[in-house]
Amino acid sequence: MGAVYGFTSPRLQIPELLALYRRGEIKLKELITRSYSLDEVNRGYADLEAGLNLRGVIVF
């Protein structure tokens, strides 16, 4: 059986995570391996499959 958000409630957990980020307690930018534009989405998937990208973000 799969898990979504580690069996937490996204309705409760996401606002808490956003508050931590706003207070500087979670460093999200440091977790991003690479950013891709929307037209580079296929490259992002290819990089992920090739092990070149662990946490890619699509910016649109």
pLDDT interval class at 37 (50, 70, 90):
very high
Where in the sequence is the domain holding 34, given as residue range(s)? 28-60
Residue 3 lies in a domain: no
Lookup: tokens for 53: 């990208």
Task: Name the CA radius of gyration of the chain, rounded.
Answer: 14
Interatomic CA distance for residues 49 and 39, integer angstroms: 18
Is 40 part of any domain?
yes
Judge whether 35 lies within some domain. Answer: yes
Please check whether residue 20 lies inside any domain of the structure: no
Q: Read off the pTM.
A: 0.61
Three-point CA angle 35, 41, 45, nearest 5°: 90
**How many structural domains compose the chain?**
1
In-domain check, residue 22: no
Residue 13 belongs to some domain of the structure: no
CB 32 within 8 A of CB 53: no
Residue 29 DSSP symbol: G
pLDDT tens-digit readout, 12-27: 888 998 999 999 999 8
